[in-house]
Chain A
Amino acid sequence: MDALNRTTLRNITAFSAAALAGMALVVGCGEDEAEFDRGAVIEGMGTGVIMPTVDALHAASQELDTAAQTFCDAPDATTLEAARDAWLAVKAPLKRSESFSFGPARVPRVQMSMNVDKWPGRGENIEAALDTEATIDEAYLTSLDYRDRVYGYPAAGYLLFGAPEGAADTLAAYTDAAYLPEKRCEYLLAVTDHAAGIVAEYHNRWSPEGDGYLTQFVEAGSSDAFPSEQDAFTAVTGTMLFALVQISEMKLGVPLMGNEGAPKPEEVEAPYSNTSVDHALWAFEGVERLYLGTDEAMGLSDYVQFRQAAGNVDQTVRERIAAARSALEALNAPLAETVVNDADAVQAAIDAVDQLNQALSGEVSTLLGINPTTVEGDND
């Protein structure tokens, strides 16, 4: 028996040595073969799409802060228009950032969707909140319940585009003493300042000069936040899909069908500025850019093209992106009226976005071996 064991051991040793030698040979040969650089795609998404969006959001939030101050110093049609433009300039990158709402967007001190973008702003709640003897500042705002949608950029949208009952227009609310113009301005400045502070924190967390989450992202495979490149793809794909569901379900579906199975126009995202369709398009653009990349940066599309072999998954996704964009652009603003007057068009847009979701969550995810889940656990 011992002799047999020795023989067995020798065989195993020889087999192992041969296997190692074979592996070394294969590794050596493999080094010369062309391979796809997945890291370049991650870097493209990070430095070509994500960081420019975060930079734009940060800059725009500062500019809105300034524009709101200028408006409050001298409220007139010109300064109001400038403040409105500044608000729209914030909302565009803010909506695009929904497609990468992982990492810094979810840390407790930031919580973008809760602290900065709980929509739609509720005019009646804001009116009640600004009618106070207390000093309206960040402490006052955060003492309010975020679920009442009384702070963040949606609230600023009400303050810049909406008007209290009885007021002729927005400007009148800032000039007519009956509408508490000083408190209104105090509220507006507190809201924009509070939101800008959170955006600054968000920017700092992404920025390579700050906490450097971007560096962690682009160095996926060797970073703590993304131990493998696959983790980076999973994070991005998961939030891209989430952004698409948000467009279908929340931005279009709820106003179209509401909780009662009938249109609920008051649930559109930007009811006071009548830019709800733009908001949906901006959110869509975030997904679009991450997939298609830019002139300078690779996107998920490049990786899909490499992996699809003889298939046409990338072409399918591109066609569905184009169809969804067309369907969204075909919606006549304002959305609050369209959900009542042209429900079919809204339904068509929902279907088109869902078709894109199907391709990304189906073919693309399975092709790339991505399980778009943020909840950890084992598999088998």
Chain B
Amino acid sequence: MRALFAPVPASALAFFRAAFGIAIFIGATRYLGYGWVTELYVTPEYHFTYWGFDWVKPWPGIGMHVHYALMGVLGLCVAAGLFYRASITLVFVMFTYVELIDKTAYLNHYYFVSLVALLMIFMPLHRAYSLDVRRKPELRRDWMPAWCVWIVRFQLGCVYVFAGIAKLEKDWLVHGEPMTIWLAARTDFPLVGHLFDLPWLGQAMSIAGCLFDLTIVVFLLWRPTRLGAYLTVVVFHVATGLLFNIGLFPLIMIALTPIFFDPDWPRRLWAKFKKVPYQAPELPEHLPARSPLLRQIGTAALALYVAVQLALPMRHLLYPGNVLWNQEGWRFSWRVMLIEKSGFLKFNVRDANSERRWVVYPRTFLNDRQLQLATGSPDMILQLAHHIAEDFRSRGVAEPQVFADAHLSLNGRPSTRFIDPKVDLAKEPRGLTHFDWVLPELSAAR
């Protein structure tokens, strides 16, 4: 406990703050520059909101563009440590807000960004190497509490370790899927692409990826292997970034993983660069005395956060069936690059009070990206069924029944029926309980 509140040099955390803020800026700029704000948040007429967060809606007009532009500016403020507490709080709120608008925008590294931003609100990262210190010199400290370093290490560790645990399954380890599928799709990759059709390569890379995820944190924590481990992190993420369309994930991990080095590594590096003797910052023996109650609350909050982060990725065990197939307990679990799903979805609608019937193809409401992701996600299929039922009610059909005709192919297996076609989804509730209308995976044998 005492170790968590021991003072440690601040330079590594300041670097972390700068890297994180710049990542926010780059991310917001990419979304604006590539037109993704319009495509993901402005154009779609329907959004898959999270259960309990249906009130989160995109801003009207140019609101979403302003939102992203402001978020980019705030990212730079965080990086520079300018009005840090307000900036990072707004970054957390604004980033999380856009993530809550539509489930189809969910990515593990966006979830990671939200979590880290939340943690950073409580960290005094503006007290060193910041414009806030320049504004108010009395803020300056060359040290920070050790828990700030350890909680970030823990969070990064969760990403790797749970991603590795999630890979301990047959598709990934035995069949090398979906890696084999993805590699075969990149045979035009410069220099080595022609090798990607080799039958053993997908499996070999899958096993290597799993070993990397499971062990890298240990090697990063152990000083003798730390530098090698970090270089491996760089190579791994550069390679996956070049091979797959995973956006900022590699950059974020490469930029933030140096937090595993000693807390004064930037100062040491700087001294080496300047070829001057390294001078360690003077650290107090203890943190300034604070209210014991405040410290106890802080400790309890940290413990609770850690417990939640350890439990959430394992919650799929509470649901029957294969999580790759039914995706119950899928999100917020660091299940990275595990599935290649494609399928077909349409809805048969009947009027319970007459013989009238309709067929609704989801393209009526969804763009291609939403459709592709919704087709493999039961919760989104249910949500869309509810939306269709509401649409029919608004057109005068008092009691519409909505049945999904859904077929899915997972990791190269034959396409099989995904949702029980006899279940009226309009009557099924949303929530966190098991969806017993998701049919079992019949084509498990490949």
Contacts and interface: CB of A to CB of B under 8 A. Distances in A.
25 contacts: A8-B227, A26-B192, A30-B198, A35-B187, A35-B194, A39-B188, A220-B188, A228-B189, A230-B186, A233-B185, A259-B358, A261-B351, A261-B397, A262-B356, A359-B415, A361-B343, A362-B414, A363-B342, A363-B409, A363-B415, A366-B411, A375-B39, A377-B369, A379-B247, A380-B107
A167 B247 CA distance: 63
A260 interface: yes
Contact of A11 (B34, B228, B405): B228
A316 B198 CA distance: 25
Interface of A: 4-5, 8-9, 11-12, 15, 23, 26-27, 30-31, 33, 35-36, 38-39, 220-221, 228-230, 233, 238, 242, 245, 248-249, 253, 257, 259-262, 307, 311, 313, 316, 350, 354, 357-359, 361-380
Given A8-B224, A262-B356, A362 B343 contact: yes
Interface string B358-385: 1101010001111110010000000000
A260 B358 CA distance: 8
Given A261-B356, A377-B369, 11 more contacts: A27-B192, A233-B185, A261-B357, A261-B358, A313-B414, A354-B344, A361-B342, A361-B344, A377-B247, A379-B245, A380-B336
Interface stretch (B125-133, B176-184, B427-435): B176-184
A365 B372 CA distance: 11
Contact of A367 (B39, B181, B189, B356): B181
Contacts of B197: 35-36
A8 B371 CA distance: 49
A377 B195 contact: no
Given A35-B187, A228-B188, A363-B414, A378 B343 contact: no
Nearest to A303: B184
Q: For B107, B191, B409, which residue has the most chain A Cβ atoms within 10 angstroms? A: B409
Interface of B: 34-36, 39-40, 105, 107-109, 178, 181-182, 184-189, 191-192, 194-195, 197-198, 224-225, 227-228, 231, 244-249, 336-337, 340-344, 346, 349, 351, 354, 356-359, 361, 363, 367-372, 375, 395, 397, 405, 407-415
A245 B405 CA distance: 14
B228 A12 contact: yes
B359 A249 contact: yes
Tell me the interface secondary structure of chain A in the complex: helix
A362 B227 contact: no
Q: For B245, B249, B336, B410, which residue has the most chain A Cβ atoms within 10 angstroms? A: B245
A262 B107 CA distance: 42
B380 to A, nearest CB: 15
B246 A358 contact: no
A153 to B, nearest CB: 23
Contacts of B369: 373, 375, 377
A30 B408 CA distance: 35
A35 B189 CA distance: 14
A379 B342 contact: no
B197 to A, nearest CB: 6
Nearest to A233: B185
Contact of B195 (A27, A369, A371): A27
A260 B356 CA distance: 7
A303 to B, nearest CB: 10
Contacts of B182: 369
B407 to A, nearest CB: 5
